[in-house]
Structures are given as C-alpha cells and as structure tokens.
Amino acid sequence: MNAEDIHTAITLLREEYTGWRKPAVTIVAQCERSPYKVLVSCIISLRTKDEVTAKASERLFARAATPAAMAALATDEIAELIYPAGFYRNKSEQIHEISRRLISEYDGKVPDEIDELLAFKGVGRKTANLVLTLGFGKQGICVDTHVHRICNRWGYVTTRTPEETEIALRAKLPEEYWIPINDLLVAFGQNVCVPVSPRCSVCRLRNICSRAGVLVSR
C-alpha cells in the first residue's frame, strides 16, 4: 500500500464501519465525553473481549462514575463489578489507585498530557492515546495489536512493535486520520482482517493490500 492508497483505504473502511459493531471503549466515549470513563474502560478492556468490557464498564459506572466515588469503593467490590474481565483483581487495584491519585494530585481531573498519563500504573501508550483522542479530542494515534498488525499487513509500515508503528504512523499518516484510525482498524480487525486466516476474499481493500505475512486466508 502506497501513500496515496491510504485515502482509499480509509474511505472504504468508513463505508464498511457502519455495519460493524463499534469497539466498547468507543461506545463509552460516544455516550459521554468523559476522560475518566475512557481511562477506566481502557484498563478494563486490556486482554478482555469487547462484549465483556462493555458490560463490566456499564456495571462499574452505574456504581461509581467519578474518581471520588470509585476511590470510596473497596477494591474487592470493584473486582466483583468488572468480573469476568481478564486480570480483574489486578485491574481493580489499578483503577482504585488511579482514582485515589487523581483526587490527591489532580483535583479529581484526568490529565491531558501523555507523559502524565503514562506515569499511572497500568497505563500504557495505547490507553494514554485513547484517553487523549476519545476523552479529550486531542490529536494522537492509538496503536493496539489490530492497528499494528493491519498496517504491517497492508505494507503501509514495516515495524516490529506497536510502539514502532506509532512512531512510523506519526511520520507518515495524514493527521486527519490520526484519531479515527484506531476505531476503524479495531472493527476491521475483528470482522475481516482477523489475526489468523483473514477474510481476504470479501475484503474491499484486497487490491491495495500487500498481504504481508499472510500465509492462509479465506
């Protein structure tokens, strides 16, 4: 995929996206632009299926929707509310500690700078960038496993890690696509360009995709 093909790819993905289920964190952000809820739902989503993340986030926010309310809960109660999210006990402690720090150090408000977000335990670049883009509407590129895999599969970048992919995309991807690319590629990666045996026969991008690393497809 060359530099010009990316415009075609994004256009086609936007057309297809309307028929796909939106990522759970995106749904949270669209219901209410709350950096705190985006942050917490991102933590819940790590190594957890989207449908589990959506239900766990809904239960948790019905009980505690602010840092103060969350910090008032016991970690065991948080864990019970987000179960069966992966590593739910560890995540409950992270959510509780982040909430406590937001109150004591940030007047209950989520910071909007990536370096400050990365200083919180359990917050990596994927989560920090989602908070900036979906929570604050600031420019950023969130690179998760889907974005990393698909951009390399396209041949748009050649990188080894999500961190390298983010750097490469910042240098190459038109800024107008920085925020939407995560939503589009997560949905695309869940429905068509799956990790193993992607559905290339029905993919509208097949003529501009390099299919790098694809050994078996459908």
Q: What pLDDT is attached to residue 188?
A: 97
Structural domains of the chain, with CATH: 5-21+141-202 (1.10.1670.10), 34-136 (1.10.340.30)
Residue from 76, 144, 172, 183 carrying the catalytic annotation: 144
Q: b/e map of 130-163 (b: 16 or more CB within 10 Å)?
A: bbbbbbbeeebbbbbebbbbbbbbbbbbebeebe
Q: Look up the pTM and report it.
A: 0.88
Q: Which residue has the tokens 């952000």?
A: 29
Active site residue 107: no
Q: How buried is residue 215: exposed, middle or buried, by Cβ count under 10 Å (0-12/13-18/19+)?
A: exposed
- Among 37, 91, 126, 183, the active-site one is 126
Asked if residue 218 lies in contact with residue 200, where contact means CB atoms within 8 angstroms, the answer is yes
pLDDT digits (tens, 9 = 90+) for 95-108: 999 999 999 999 99
- Angle (CA) 150 155 156, round 5°: 80
What is the overall mean pLDDT for the chain? 95
Read off the pLDDT of each residue in 85-101 and give the average, rounded to a whole number.
98
Residue 198 pLDDT? 97
Residue 31 has pLDDT above 90, yes or no: no
Does residue 81 register a pLDDT over 80?
Answer: yes
Question: pLDDT band at residue 2, thresholds of 50, 70 and 90?
Answer: confident
- In the prediction, which pLDDT does 79 show? 98
55 a catalytic residue: no
